[in-house]
Amino acid sequence: MKKLIATIVLVAITYTAYCQNLEGISKQKPFVMHGSIGASASYYQSNESVATRPPWAWNLYGNFSPTIYGIAMPVSFVLNQYGKSYTQPFSQFGISPTYKWAKLHLGYRTISMSPMVFDGQSFRGVGLELNPKLFRFAAFYGKLNRKINEDTTSGRYAQPQFSRTGYGIKIGIGNQSHFLDLIYFHAKDDTSSAVVIKKGSIQSQENSVIGASFKNTFLKKITWTGDIAASGITNDLTAPKADSLPGWVFDKIFGRLMPYRSSTTVSFGGQTALSIALKNYNTTLGYRRVQPGFKSLGTPYMLKDIELFNWMNNLNVLKSKLNINATFSDQHNNLKKDLTSQMNTMVTNLNVNATATPKLNINFNYSGYFLHQSDGTIHLTDSVRLYQQVHNISLMPSYIIFNSSMSHTISTVINYMLLNDENPATAPFTSSHNLSTSLNYTLGLTKKAMSFSAGGSFNQYVQDTTRYSTYGVNLGATAQFLKNKNLNTQITGGYLINKSSFANAQSNFTFSANVSYSKKHHTLSINANYVFTPYNPINTVIEKALSQAVTSRNFMGSISYNYSF
């Protein structure tokens, strides 16, 4: 398979280069360059006992898009200090020259083949995408993970990992409205690539995945999509090879794609969705099922052991003055019925946005989360069963008055959250409700390119006998100076008072300032942020163990420069 992919890529590159030399190349400009390059540095100082970030940080980046005779060849790179523990700075470099229906990938790149097989995973190597007319082709070969040695001496722990190499190929037929793709992906770890001090801390893996994706459009308004995959995963390459394969047909298939070991399993995953798009109404009904053991090393963030139903709706009426979005989903795990319990989750959401007048806009949102733990292989009593409901309601009206010289904006946010625990044993410690409100006013001076804002906020959290309240004010201003309005400044400050039923009141002061200057291709930015919490003695009950709360000071400043061309 590796040789086949390499041969196809080389032939396609040759053919692409041949086409580039023939089709209208004389009509293109020989060379055009666009892009940007920049750098930034930041400083952080705090009296916190445990550092949450380094005091100094730096970053270098560049994005270049040269075009040679009409052929785009984008290039990008990022460098920063966080890779020093690996004895070399972290860097990514990639290029994807494109010509009509052909795209070549070199370096750090990504190709989307299927959400069940290979998607969201970058590689360092070579790849190719070809889409002439109805033919759909994609292939790649390269490193998926680099090695990380286990280090117990630097004082900064990094999870060790083996170097991983992978390749994939997609062949299909169709266009954006109708297509069918067949996909194959394989990845394997190099067990000798990384130094692992503690045996068993990581395991080397090998994975082969076969899948298919399709899309069909009917009457230009109905769309049916789907993705399905079967994955053979070896979770430990040091496990002994299997003397015989299980009798199922897919086990036989994967036994030919990679060595079958005692730690090898075969599982399935799939999803489908049916969408209807009308003039003022859109709806999508979806279904997803992924077996507990399903895993593709090409989709690193996939949830498994899940069956999900979801329904999404959008209604747009009254000449777009009223928009309603409603979604519903219901999911559960324990697909094999072998877990001690099953978790059921239902989520609902309703969002209504109304433009009552050109000056008045109202937004309403409701979200509900229902968690219920049901019996699995054992019976759960009410005192240990998880059974919670979370309701969140928000209302956000805004009113704007404007003319040629100034504008007035008044907005408010009212948010209420309720957590209702039906478990009698845990309810006193978890059931709670929270009210959050704010009122803000902004004055905009259009002709002077200035704006001033003021606001107040109130938050209250109640859980059993505990009550925590926060209220305060904030002020801010923005302005643009110079003839071309290319000097931008912003300053904000806030003061909060925190009250608790078990401690004395405490206050926080925040301040931030930002300045940026741009001229033609150059942009220089300076930012500063400061948070101060003054000394506060706590109540006598806690004071026996801790005499006083520590005064906290946090400052962060940064400077950045960008040159675009």
pLDDT at position 87 over 90: no
Report whether 142 contacts 126 (CB < 8 A): yes
State the pTM of this model: 0.81
Q: State residue 548's pLDDT score.
A: 40
Q: Which residues of 352-384 are buried (b: 16+ CB within 10 A; e: fewer)?
A: ebebeeeeebebebebbebbbbeebeeebeeee
Report whether 126 contacts 139 (CB < 8 A): no
Confidence of residue 78 (pLDDT cuts 50, 70, 90): confident
Q: Which residue has the higher pLDDT, 547 or 277?
A: 277
Q: Torsion angle of alpha carbons 241, 245, 251, 252, nearest 10°?
A: 110
For 201-255, write each residue's pLDDT tens digit.
789 999 999 999 999 999 999 999 999 999 999 999 999 998 878 878 888 899 9
For 457-489, write each residue's pLDDT tens digit.
999 999 988 899 999 999 999 999 999 999 999
Q: State residue 279's pLDDT score.
A: 94
Among 146-155, 185-194, 248-257, 380-389, where is mean pLDDT lowest?
Answer: 146-155
Give the C-alpha distances (Å, rounded to integers) separating 535 from 469, 498, 507: 19, 13, 9
The total number of residues shown for the chain amounts to 565
CA-based nearest residue to 296, from 211, 192, 237, 213: 211
Q: State residue 544's pLDDT score.
A: 40
Q: State residue 18's pLDDT score.
A: 40
Report whether 515 contacts 480 (CB < 8 A): no
Tokens 């606001």 label which residue? Answer: 455
Left, alpha or beta for 378 (phi > 0: left; psi -120 to 50: alpha)?
beta
Residue 565 DSSP SS3: coil
- 300: Cα separation from own chain's centroid: 12
How far is it, in rounded angstroms, from Cα 78 to Cα 512?
A: 28
How far is it, in rounded angstroms, from Cα 306 to Cα 557?
A: 44
Give the C-alpha distances (Å, rounded to integers) separating 101 from 130, 131, 421: 6, 5, 56
Residue 550 DSSP SS3: coil
- CB neighbour class for 409 (10 Å; exposed up to 12, middle 13-18, buried from 19): middle
